[in-house]
Structure 1
């Protein structure tokens, strides 16, 4: 479970490139390779500003027609998986 006060950033060992409009990630420590879909790529790009969960959801709701509750639970699940795979880091306040 994520800390609601946390902010998120791209992990320093995650190398990324854009391929056909989607983000491809390589985690150099674990050797994991991930290709993000459009929504995952949008979340990844938002992480450059070290946003909170609420800020990420706000950004996505501006871009996509998505229910706020569904957005929050989906983004939270995405972030938990990304933190576990060490492509996203948390900044705890």
Structure 2
């Protein structure tokens, strides 16, 4: 039997700053300015074949393709659960602010950083919003 390589990464912790693993990322996370101006927000979706399990307040994500696992705290798990169907940044922020006593301003940057990390790790992807006729826009 092969050995499973493990990597533990805690995502989205409001109580302390965490290292910015993707500080040089080219991923463009949609901002509220884009939403306010009428520009369509990108949608974020969790990869359906990543196994997720609640471990009593923290969640474990197992990427079956790479045999790596990641952990999410409760607020990170809220974002993960909201991404089971394609969701814009504004919806992910709303999910966290409704579940926890945190303002939109306090959590926006953490959620943007989490999204960058999830996409970079291949656990989630960014999809274009659908146009008015149900076709993805480019």
Q: TM-score of the superposition, structure 1-length normalised? A: 0.86
Alignment map for 1:1-93 (pairs within 5 Å): 1-4=27-30, 5-93=41-129
8 A contact 2:45–2:124 mirrored in 1: yes
**1:80 and 1:61 mapped to 2: Cα distance?**
19
Structure 2 residue ranges without an equivalent (≥5)? 1-26, 31-40, 130-138
Shift in Å, 1:12: 3.2
Partner of 2:125, secondary structure, is strand
Structure 1 residue ranges without an equivalent (≥5)? none
| Richer in strand (by share) | 1
**2:120 and 2:99 mapped to 1: Cα distance?**
26
**1:79 and 1:3 mapped to 2: Cα distance?**
8
Q: Structure 1 residues 5-14 or 83-92, which shifts more?
A: 5-14
| Richer in helix (by share) | 1
**2:29 and 2:79 mapped to 1: Cα distance?**
18
Deviation per CA, 1:36-74, whole angstroms, max 9, x where unpaired? 111111111111232100111011111112122221111
Q: RMSD value over aligned CA atoms?
A: 1.5
Q: Which structure: larger Rg?
A: 2
